[in-house]
Structure 1
Amino acid sequence: MQGRENMRHSTDNDPMKKEHDQMAKVEVYATEWCPYCKRARKLLEEKGAKYELIDVMMEPRRKKEMMDRANGKHTVPQIFINDEHIGGCDELMALNAKGGLDSKLSA
């Protein structure tokens, strides 16, 4: 079938692949219904960041893990980039406003 040769294939020289490979490890402890979680996730998606979504309502045991990692904070979202606790939605937005989010997302 003609036209398949135009499909994009990822190679080691592909700049999109390199960008993806250089992205930081991002973890978002959240719930599906939380508006602050949605806002934080939207910003990460706009930045092209891949993240692991940990739904603490669906996996209650992970809430304790979140609290341990977030120095006792029990609200969602709690966001970690390369194991560094960023905080919640407000902290993520502030980091972005200061221009620091992009550098943390590229590793």
Structure 2
Amino acid sequence: MDKKVTVYTFNTCPFCIKAKNLLDNEGIEFDEIDITTDRGKLKELESKTGSSTVPQIFAGDKFIGGCDDLMELHKSGEFDQVLR
């Protein structure tokens, strides 16, 4: 069973779109939380993850990182292990 994947995004962010496209192409269902107008949520995520950029991607409670981190998981072959 796939882990619950959550992606925090801004609606015009090209890295968010790239990450969501990879997840879609791999058949990974995810919940998208658009925080474009909620800078408070971004500050909350920043204090939790140490990252102030989007996307911020979680598999269950584990913070995966951003788009580059997701792409690296895919390239390294660890994608399925971490996200499924």
TM-score (norm 2): 0.89
Structure with the higher fraction of residues in strand conformation: 2
* Residues 30 and 53, structure 1, Cα contact 8 Å, conserved in 2: yes
Matched, 1:90 2:68: yes
Match of residue 67 from structure 1: 46
User: What's the % identity of the aligned pairs?
Assistant: 39
* Bigger relative contact order (CA 8 A; separation at least 6): 2
State the Cα RMSD in Å: 1.2
Q: Counterpart amino acid of 1:69?
A: K
Select 1:38's aligned residue among 8, 11, 17: 17
Gaps of 5+ in 1: 1-21
Q: Distance in 2 between matches of 1:34 and 1:82?
A: 23
The farther-off stretch of 51-60 and 92-101 is 51-60
Gaps of 5+ in 2: none
Matched, 1:81 2:53: no
* Aligned residue pairs, count: 84
Moved over 4 A (4+): none
Match of residue 36 from structure 2: 57
Greater gyration radius: 1
TM-score (norm 1): 0.72
